[in-house]
A = this chain, B = another copy of it.
Amino acid sequence: MPEKTKSRPRSGCPVSMSLEQFGDRWSLLIVRDMMVRGHRTFKEFQGSGEGISSNILADRLKTLEAAGILMTEPDETDARRMNYRLTQKGIDLAPVMLELLIWGAKYEATAAPCGLIDQMEKGREQVLAETRRRWRERDSTPLIPRFDEMPQDTSTRSNERRKK
């Protein structure tokens, strides 16, 4: 886990403080799942295609909750299900997420279609506005699909090599 009780003293730099919160390989992926794929349950996070182990997932959810980035609420229709939801602090990570996505799509071979990325790069504010709207209205339809399950169409080139 990033840290909880034992964080060693860092400089007061905001970048450093941010990284202390989610400077690991998993935390932001969980936030991504909630933010753009509408995931809300433990099970959904587990099946998001990155292969996180359940103990790590449980730990990260706890850490993110403790950090005030997400909150939990028991499901109304199924008592064993727990719903996770981003807080304002969490949804405010949207700009970070978007820039991460744009950079990754530009430099790493990904399965994301160019067209979609170009569109997001040109219309940052619009994407962010839509992301916030979805959060406010608890609209959990995916904003962005899973790239490993996308139908390949000719107008969206990509460096494909997907399975499943």
Contacts and interface: CB of A to CB of B under 8 A. Distances in A.
Given A20-B25, A23-B23, A146 B11 contact: yes
A92 B104 contact: no
A23 B20 contact: no
Contacts of A108: 14, 17-18, 20-21
A8 B37 CA distance: 22
Nearest to A97: B15
A103 B162 contact: no
A95 B104 contact: no
Interface string A55-75: 000000000000010000000
Total copies of this chain within the assembly:
2
Interface in A82-113: 89, 92-93, 95-112
A13 B112 contact: yes
Contacts of A25: 2, 19-20, 23-24
Nearest to A98: B99
A99 B104 contact: no
Which A-B residue pairs are the 7 nearest by beta carbons?
A12-B111, A14-B104, A18-B104, A17-B108, A11-B49, A14-B105, A23-B25
Given A11-B146, A96-B96, 12 more contacts: A11-B48, A13-B49, A13-B110, A14-B112, A16-B29, A16-B104, A18-B108, A21-B108, A23-B25, A24-B25, A95-B99, A99-B99
